[in-house]
Amino acid sequence: MPTRPHVIDEMISAKAIAARIEDLSREIQQEFKDTDKLIVVGLLRGSFVFIADLVRELALPIEVDFLEASSYGDSTVSSREVRILKDLRGAIEGRDVLVVEDIVDTGHTLTHVRHLLESRQPRRLKTIALLDKPSRREVEIKADWIGFEIPDEFVVGYGIDFAQRNRNLPFIGKVRFLET
**Catalytic residue numbers, as ranges:** 105
The full 3-state SS of the chain, as one line of letters, equals: CCCCCEEEEEEECHHHHHHHHHHHHHHHHHHCCCCCCEEEEEEECCCHHHHHHHHHHCCCCEEEEEEEEECCCCCCCCCCCCEEEECCCCCCCCCEEEEEEEEECCCHHHHHHHHHHHCCCCCEEEEEEEEECHHHCCCCCCCCEEEEECCCCCEEECCECECCECCCCCCEEEEEECCC
DSSP-derived pairing of the beta strands 38-44 and 96-104: parallel
